[in-house]
A = this chain, B = another copy of it.
């Protein structure tokens, strides 16, 4: 990465492909980053891998890039969702950033019984996910869903998707690592991780979650973890035991 600009573009990428730039992109590349015609940069669009490209035309209000060689194949993380109740802005940003780094397919903010009603601006979080991918070298950008009620998400839960339920009240139960390892020989398939809000889940939510056959409760150690720490810890455990860290 070392200094080379890495840009997400919403445009097909391929050998010799030209990419017209919007005004904001031109401003960033030529105004802020001071690239000139002939300069090299890296492009990705979330589906065609990463490409070395060159500035063909540079202007104040636009410009054109040309794709040269693919520098990285498209990577697709395991079919894992991260479901969490938004916390304060900086920590929500952090959760989105870490989900991109650690590799998930979708990020789903939910409102639970004890969630503070703070609105999450999905568009901002989508931009934040793109920025995180630009910075960490990822070629995939997870989808950020609109805020929805946890109860509604559970009502329409997709068949076959398992749920790693990180329940703070579960501390003292089976260890996460052993619990997940036991599932390793089970059928492969889609998963989701659910991180509780800072105030925990309500009794009704907890009872409902424990009642589902697809729910696998896990404990994240004996200490209390903040929501964003729990998110990174849960993603790490899942990836290392069931995901693509093996």
Contact = CB atoms under 8 A, between A and B. Distances in A.
A223 B101 contact: yes
A139 to B, nearest CB: 10
Contacts of A176: 240, 245
Contacts of A219: 245
A244 B221 CA distance: 7
Interface string A212-231: 00000001111111100100
B98 A229 contact: yes
A103 to B, nearest CB: 6
A239 B221 contact: yes
Interface in A65-105: 75, 98, 101-103
A77 B16 CA distance: 56
B102 A224 contact: no
Interface residues of A, number: 33
Contact of A233 (B75, B236, B244): B236
Nearest to A140: B223
Contacts of A236: 220, 232-233, 236-237
Contacts of A241: 177
B245 A221 contact: yes
A233 B239 CA distance: 10
Nearest first, the 5 closest Cβ-Cβ pairs linking A and B are A177-B240, A221-B245, A233-B236, A232-B232, A236-B236
Interface of A: 75, 98, 101-103, 135-138, 175-178, 219-226, 229, 232-233, 236-237, 239-241, 243-246
Given A102-B221, A221-B244, A222-B244, 9 more contacts: A75-B223, A101-B229, A102-B229, A135-B226, A136-B224, A176-B245, A177-B240, A177-B245, A232-B233
